[in-house]
Amino acid sequence: MIDAGSGGRAYRDIRESVDILLLSHNHFDHINGVSFFPNAQIWASREEAPGYEDAAVYASYNGYQHWEKLMGQPRHRRFGQTTKMPEDIPVSPGFIPVPLGGLIDDGQSWDTGHEHIIALHTPGHSHGHCSFWLETSNILFSGDIDLSPYGPWYGGNYSSFDQFEKSVRRLELMDPAVLTTSHRRPFVRGEDNIAQLLREYIDIGLQKEHNILQYLKVPRDFQDIADQPFVSTYPTRTEYTQFWSRMMLLKHLQRLERQGLITEFDDGQWRRI
């Protein structure tokens, strides 16, 4: 099985029979249900392995250390207190250690007898994010490269839009018969133009970056840029969607600065060069 973020009802009939559980990355909505599978050997990417063992490392992945600076006030409520989950999903507050039985590197493979599964390290969403290619049936599971209509999410401390872009290009070249993600329906070659959907998806991030660059023709401070409607693509505005949008904005500013297109002045204003 790949990922375990659903509730107990979905897993009722397979709890005893899953012997290998592959985790795409260590966000809560992919790992909440690991305790349902007592017989499973759990595999996760080498890069994120420390986050399954150590609460402080796990916490550092969220980027909440930047909350006060980006949001202008301390973080009062946990994400779990702001979002209601179905009652069969075991959401415990805080960190749950996950004992790993194997570490995934790019190219790692498993043979189930029916299927040959190959791991692809596709960072960007998180630094250890993996996709899985079911080679025999040419099905690509792309995890949280999820073709969300709101575009890619790269709001974690070790998320990277540069890496996200590279990972999406890599998947685009694979031309799978079926692309299945963590959060939407499966996409089928012949009915869906998978390569184009992947390009349109990453374009949402690129368009945001283009708008930021246009807006910086005159000097602006971070709060001013963050308040612009093009910075957030989410239909709802909660403290968390606002925080993630700001984390992603920060990554675009740093990326544009690395590319030599903008600079930050001593007074905290950003501007095009």
Of 20-28, 76-84, 226-234, 244-252, the segment contacting Zn ion by CB under 5 A is 20-28
Whole-number Cα distances in Å, 25 to 51, 73, 245: 10, 29, 20
Residue type, 72: G
Based on CB atoms, which residue is closest to Zn ion, 48 or 172? 48
Q: Is residue 27 at the binding interface for Zn ion, with CB under 5 A as the rule?
A: yes
Question: What is the SS3 assignment for the chain?
Answer: CECCCCCHHHHCCCCCCCCEEECCCCCHHHHCCHHHCCCCEEEEEHHHHHHHHCHHHHHHHHCHHHHHHHHCCCCCCCHHHCCCCCCCCCCCCCCCCCCCCEEECCCCEEECCCCEEEEEECCCCCCCCEEEEECCCCEEECCCCCCCCCCCCCCCCCCCHHHHHHHHHHHHHHCCCEEECCCCCCEEECCECHHHHHHHHHHHHHHHHHHHHHHCCCCEEHHHHHCCHHHCCCCCCCHHHHHHHHHHHHHHHHHHHHCCCEEECCCCEEEEC
Based on CB atoms, which residue is closest to Zn ion, 129 or 220? 129
Which parts of 196-235 interact with Zn ion (CB under 5 A)? none
Based on CB atoms, which residue is closest to Zn ion, 27 or 251? 27
Shortest Å distance, C-beta 148 to Zn ion = 11
The HSE-up count of residue 148 (CA atoms within 13 Å, CB side) is 16
Shortest Å distance, C-beta 144 to Zn ion = 4
How far apart are the C-alpha atoms of 71 and 60, rounded to whole Å? 17
Shortest Å distance, C-beta 80 to Zn ion = 15
Q: How many residues bind Zn ion (CB under 5 A)?
A: 2
Shortest Å distance, C-beta 79 to Zn ion = 12
Based on CB atoms, which residue is closest to Zn ion, 170 or 272? 170
Based on CB atoms, which residue is closest to Zn ion, 96 or 188? 96
Whole-number Cα distances in Å, 268 to 66, 95, 163: 16, 35, 27
**Residue among 144, 146, 172, 209 that touches Zn ion (CB under 5 A):** 144
Shortest Å distance, C-beta 58 to Zn ion = 13
Based on CB atoms, which residue is closest to Zn ion, 62 or 232? 62
Of 24-32, 98-106, 158-166, 236-244, the segment contacting Zn ion by CB under 5 A is 24-32
Shortest Å distance, C-beta 164 to Zn ion = 12
Based on CB atoms, which residue is closest to Zn ion, 127 or 220? 127
Of 23-31, 77-85, 88-96, 98-106, the segment contacting Zn ion by CB under 5 A is 23-31
Of 40-48, 59-67, 79-87, 139-147, the segment contacting Zn ion by CB under 5 A is 139-147
Based on CB atoms, which residue is closest to Zn ion, 149 or 268? 149
Of 64-72, 143-151, 198-206, 210-218, the segment contacting Zn ion by CB under 5 A is 143-151
Residues in touch with Zn ion (CB under 5 A): 27, 144
